Amino acid sequence: MRHRGPSRPSSSSRRRPRPEAAVAALLLGVACATAGLPAPGVAEKAAAAASWSGSVRVSVSGPELRGRSRVLMAFRRPDAVRIEIPGPAGARLVAVARAGRLVAVLPAERAVLESAATAAGLEALLGVALSPPELMDVLVGVAPPGLREYRAQWGGTLPRRVEALLADGTRLKATVDEAEADRDLPDAVFEPPPHEAYRPVDAPEARRLLGGR
């Protein structure tokens, strides 16, 4: 996807970080996990985590979509998820699921998708048929019902790599570069960026704009 270069910021805008930059800094301010197997009780504590945030390298290979990307992710139980795909000139995608609704904003394209925050909704946008709670479980070492395969390699307190084979044959791989659980994540993390006057798009158009196939 081609992007137009950003305009030169004024001195005042350089002094004031954008809200999305502050959120990205929050998501990245986490500790890196170490290699090894989980100690007794670690997997249980991870599974019970009320929140999680981190930087992940994701690969998806399925019937409808193939791709890989670095992703900033966060969740807060029971139903809030943030998925941000960064780009060279700012976020390419910020998708927020909360209270049963999914809002996916493509800032460079001035486009927005709104749908139900269900496994079908996430599959239509990202090619991964997992509901927000199921996605949370995958990240903390729990295999949701219905997966054909699931493996987790653990760091000190959280999985550092997970691989799942979904019911439709989609293979999801996630390598966690940094992550932290049970951090106090403010409501702003789970708010979509401003998108007034953005044109509404459906999932196929959103995927095309992202460069999906």
Ordered alpha helix ranges (H), 150-212: 203-210
* pLDDT computed for residue 146 by the predictor: 94
Torsions phi, psi for 168 (to 5 deg): -90, 5
* pLDDT computed for residue 36 by the predictor: 52
Tell me the β-bridge partners of 84.
72, 94
Tens of pLDDT, residue by residue over 161-183, are 999 999 999 999 999 999 999 99
How many residues does the structure list for the chain? Answer: 213
Could you tell me the pLDDT band of residue 203, with boundaries at 50, 70 and 90? very high
Is the pLDDT at 72 greater than 80? The verdict is yes
Is the pLDDT at 111 greater than 80? The verdict is yes
How many structural domains comprise the chain? 1
Q: 150 lies in a domain?
A: yes
Q: 19 lies in a domain?
A: no
165: enclosing H helix or E strand: strand 159-165
Instruction: Return d(Cα 11, Cα 53) in angstroms, integer.
Output: 32
Could you tell me the pLDDT band of residue 211, with boundaries at 50, 70 and 90? confident
Q: 94 lies in a domain?
A: yes
Q: 42 lies in a domain?
A: yes
Residue 62 sits in a domain whose CATH number is 2.50.20.10
Q: Which residue segment(s) compose the domain that 158 sits in?
A: 31-210
Average pLDDT over residues 82-111: 96
Average pLDDT over residues 80-108: 96
Could you tell me the pLDDT band of residue 29, with boundaries at 50, 70 and 90? very low
pTM of the model: 0.82
Q: Is 126 in contact with 96 (CB distance < 8 Å)?
A: no
Q: 172 lies in a domain?
A: yes
The mean pLDDT of the chain is 87
Instruction: Return d(Cα 185, Cα 205) in angstroms, integer.
Output: 31
Average pLDDT over residues 102-116: 98
Is the pLDDT at 192 greater than 90? The verdict is yes
Could you tell me the pLDDT band of residue 122, with boundaries at 50, 70 and 90? very high
Q: 3 lies in a domain?
A: no
Q: 86 lies in a domain?
A: yes
State the SS3 of 139-182.
HCCCCCCCCCEEEEEECCCCEEEEEEECCCCCEEEEEEEEEEEC
Q: 97 lies in a domain?
A: yes
Average pLDDT over residues 8-19: 46
- Pick the more confident residue, 212 or 42: 42
* pLDDT computed for residue 142 by the predictor: 96
